Structure 1
Amino acid sequence: MVIVFVLLALAVLVGANWYLWRRLFRDTTRGPGRARRGGAVLIAGGWALAIGALVAERAGAPFWLQRTLAWPGFLWLALSVYLLLGVVAGEAVRPLLRRYLERRARRAQARTPVAEPAPERVPAGAPPAQDPPEPAADVAEKAAPSRRLFVSRVVGGAAAAVAVGTVGQGTYGVLRGPRVKRVTVPLAKLPRAAHGYRIAVVSDIHLGPVLGRGFAQKVVDTVNATQPDLIAVVGDLVDGSVKDLGPAAAPLSRLRARHGGFFVTGNHEYFSGAAQWVEEVRRLGLDPLENARTELPWFDLAGVNDIAGESEGQGPDFDRALGGRDTTRACVLLAHQPVQIHDAVRHGVDLQLSGHTHGGQLWPGSLIAEAANPTLAGLERYGDTQLYVSRGAGAWGPPTRVGAPSDITVIELASKRA
């Protein structure tokens, strides 16, 4: 079954890229030449870089090689998605544009007066007369290939321009840093003294070969500017080892909050050496909650490991994190993946803070992410438990977001007794 799936995926990938090459390069040129060969090299080379970037990251290749491949490879992934969407959308425009050009040509031909040639006397021995003008139908038939070429160039050019513009804008949105989003969450058990308590939720920073130390500093500056009471880093901090990314994560030591900062693992920590990163974030001043709980003055704060830790015997343990607590106190749980909400409900959690989804990151990927998660982004209620899912501060793979802007969310707790 695995082999069949791989072959099917490969066939789809090859077919989609052949279609892309055909619409953007074959249909927009008059014949074989440099443009068609260059298009084939561009598409094949782009995918070679993309696959190389993915393999280099997961295989732990030298960091300089990861960085060399990451920018062009991951950007090509995003660009190819929107090029394909653009040429598919162009299929609806193509016949409409052809019909418009044909009608315009017929109207122009109808407005041109046709003079009847006067009969001429041909002297004896004169050379034969030239052939009469071609019928209008024959002229139109010869003009058809030119119209098709024109339509292909217009549609292909528009698709390429929109794709480049979309990816450019989405990449700029990530690199400029996340914006602050503020959400008020009422908790029935929260005492009046804690009304207005602010938790800065930071998820999915994804420091790696693309987003480095400068991006980490932007995140730190943004969080500190909100002057939170507590900072919650809810997983997927890094894509790489402590050896490669320790300097990039160093600015996190400057995070400031009245009650400190806390951290739980995400699935990408387990791709990157979770045990080492837990120790590193502790050294940077964040308190890792590994299936653990701490009692703050007005509520309990708990954290569970990510589901990906199960492969290493370090999965989530809700009984350990939440067992034996005073259930009259409000409880806030840090859990990377929204699917952990069902365990949170069973354990009487009041509010779960998560990330993981990126809000879909690249539309229409949001449709897939929405189907795979109970909540894609934002605040929703599950019984007596509320779940807030952040879209995340960074991006994985392409440093690009479309339809899912990055955010750092300040959760302001509200007491119903206030």
Structure 2
Amino acid sequence: MRSEPAPRPDGNGRRARRSPLRRLAVVLLVLLALWLPPWWTLFGSGTHWPFPVSAVGTVLFAGWLVSFPFLMVAGHGPRRSDRAARVADTGLGVIWVLFTWSVLGGLVNLVAAGLDLGGTGRARAVAGVVAGLSAGLLAWGHHEAMRVPRVRRLDVHLPRLGAGLDGTRVVVLADTHYGPIDRAAWSARVTEAVNALDPDVVVHAGDIADGTPAQRREQSAPLGKVRARLAKVYVTGNHEYSSEAQGWLDRMAELGWEALHNRHVLVERGGDSLVLAGVDDVTAESSGLTGHRANLLGALAGADRQHPVLLVAHQPKFVPQAAAAGIDLQISGHTHGGQIWPFNFLVRLDQPVVHGLSRHGERTRLYTSRGTGFWGPPFRVFAPSEITLLTLRAGDRKSV
């Protein structure tokens, strides 16, 4: 009898062959978990709709459940079909909103049943409220995702900032995520909004696109018209590392931006200096691209540490390293502010901050942008997009 080789850690044994099946099982369980509460709230749980209504609803839900994995692979896999991605991403957003409010509706239904309230029409009433509320939130959320972001204005006090740099206007873009939905016109309007703020420095904190520079050339082109007195700087986000990170660094340089690929530039005004440094995303090293990793020492090499430092790092979770190095201000994105409530609570499990200005250690401030665009589902629910105007102020104050 021939013996089978023992599973090996290098992935050549049976353990590795079972791994894709485990991953598939996890994906299917997650999809079922997302699918079941909406279906149960809308068409089960004692609603007793006429048979045609229940049948059509069940078919629609089943169609999503079966087709979604294939659409995601077609849209975000090697083929990168924008049409498939649009359908898959929109369906994911719809099911997430339905899931959230179905769970809340189900809890209300259980409490009402326990108190013997609502009678036989209770389940239908809950289903109607969940469907109506979800539809309203999705319509509003789509409008919020597709509009030009509102400007959020904030003063940031940096004790080491020289008086000559007091009032420096830093405009922050992040997570534009040019993608399957053509937003070239939106991108042009964002550029107009940025230029209207009369910035000294413009920062793009990464996740510029989902797709290659060639695919998203028209959408990224308006960034070439962004104006800044002192500098326009850009760092990679995690999404660049699935769509030609080096190509995006080259594309941004072509558009007139300083690609802060673990490097810094010095800007001066009124006789005072500010170091603008940037690091690759924390996922860069695992991408396998030579020379790509979050290298703060490299970014600061040769910088006069008597000058204040503004660091651009895509993910807020880089802030412990920034604080340990005495960085004055870190600017990040990545979180989207959660994008679709209540996903912000899940984001908080991975990141120290979801949005806004925070203090870390004695010196370091962190500003986390909610992002300018959106990823995947074209919805923003209770997490508005933003273009941020940070006005740097010399001196300290008690708050962040």
Common topology (TM > 0.5): yes
Kindly state the Cα deviation for residue 194 of structure 1 after the two structures are TM-superposed: 0.8
Structure 2 counterpart of 1:94: 109
CA contact (8 A) 1:181 1:410 kept: yes
CA contact (8 A) 1:380 1:386 kept: yes
Kindly state the Cα deviation for residue 70 of structure 1 after the two structures are TM-superposed: 3.2
Kindly state the Cα deviation for residue 163 of structure 1 after the two structures are TM-superposed: 0.7
Structure 1 residues without counterparts, runs of 5 or longer: 103-146
Task: Please tell me whether residue 72 in structure 1 is matched to residue 87 in structure 2.
Answer: yes
CA contact (8 A) 1:352 1:385 kept: yes
Deviations 1:315-366 (A, max 9, x none): 1111111133211111111111111112212222111111011111111110
CA contact (8 A) 1:50 1:70 kept: no
Deviations 1:268-287 (A, max 9, x none): 11111011111111111111
Structure 1 counterpart of 2:53: 35
Distance 1:245 1:49 in 2: 26
Task: Please tell me whether residue 321 in structure 1 is matched to residue 292 in structure 2.
Answer: no
Structure 1 counterpart of 2:311: 333
Q: How does 1:348-367 map to 2 (within 5 A)?
A: 348-367=326-345
* TM-score using structure 1 length: 0.82
Distance 1:378 1:101 in 2: 43
Kindly state the Cα deviation for residue 37 of structure 1 after the two structures are TM-superposed: 2.7
Q: Closer, same or farther in 2 for the Cα pair 1:16/1:365, shift >3 Å? A: closer
Q: Closer, same or farther in 2 for the Cα pair 1:160/1:364, shift >3 Å? A: same
Distance 2:29 2:219 in 1: 39
Structure 2 counterpart of 1:83: 98
Distance 2:65 2:204 in 1: 33
Structure 1 counterpart of 2:42: 24
Distance 2:314 2:49 in 1: 53
CA contact (8 A) 2:34 2:95 kept: no
In the alignment, residue 230 of structure 1 is paired with which amino acid? Answer: V
Distance 1:30 1:205 in 2: 43
Q: Closer, same or farther in 2 for the Cα pair 1:330/1:39, shift >3 Å? A: same
Identity within the alignment, %:
34
Kindly state the Cα deviation for residue 368 of structure 1 after the two structures are TM-superposed: 1.0
Which of 228, 239, 242 is the equivalent residue of 1:257? Answer: 228
Structure 1 counterpart of 2:152: 181
CA contact (8 A) 1:191 1:417 kept: no
Distance 1:21 1:85 in 2: 12
Q: How does 1:391-410 map to 2 (within 5 A)?
A: 391-410=370-389
Distance 1:100 1:34 in 2: 28
Distance 1:53 1:190 in 2: 51
Which of 371, 387, 390 is the equivalent residue of 2:349? Answer: 371
Structure 2 counterpart of 1:115: none
Distance 1:397 1:284 in 2: 25
In the alignment, residue 359 of structure 2 is paired with which amino acid? Answer: R
Deviations 1:194-246 (A, max 9, x none): 11000101000000002521221122122111111010011000000122111
Identify which range, 332-341 or 13-22, moves more after superposition.
13-22
Secondary structure of 1:204's aligned partner: coil
Distance 1:101 1:407 in 2: 42
Kindly state the Cα deviation for residue 4 of structure 1 after the two structures are TM-superposed: 4.5
Kindly state the Cα deviation for residue 10 of structure 1 after the two structures are TM-superposed: 2.1
CA contact (8 A) 2:263 2:301 kept: no
Distance 1:353 1:339 in 2: 11
Structure 2 counterpart of 1:114: none
Q: How does 1:188-207 map to 2 (within 5 A)?
A: 188-207=159-178
Q: Closer, same or farther in 2 for the Cα pair 1:48/1:284, shift >3 Å? A: farther
Higher helix share: 1
* TM-score using structure 2 length: 0.86
Distance 1:47 1:69 in 2: 15
Deviations 1:131-151 (A, max 9, x none): xxxxxxxxxxxxxxxx2xx32
Secondary structure of 2:283's aligned partner: helix
Secondary structure of 1:307's aligned partner: coil
Structure 2 residues without counterparts, runs of 5 or longer: 1-17
Which of 252, 261, 283 is the equivalent residue of 1:308? Answer: 283
Deviations 1:292-333 (A, max 9, x none): 111111211111111221022311111111133211111111
In the alignment, residue 360 of structure 2 is paired with which amino acid? Answer: Y
Distance 2:147 2:33 in 1: 36
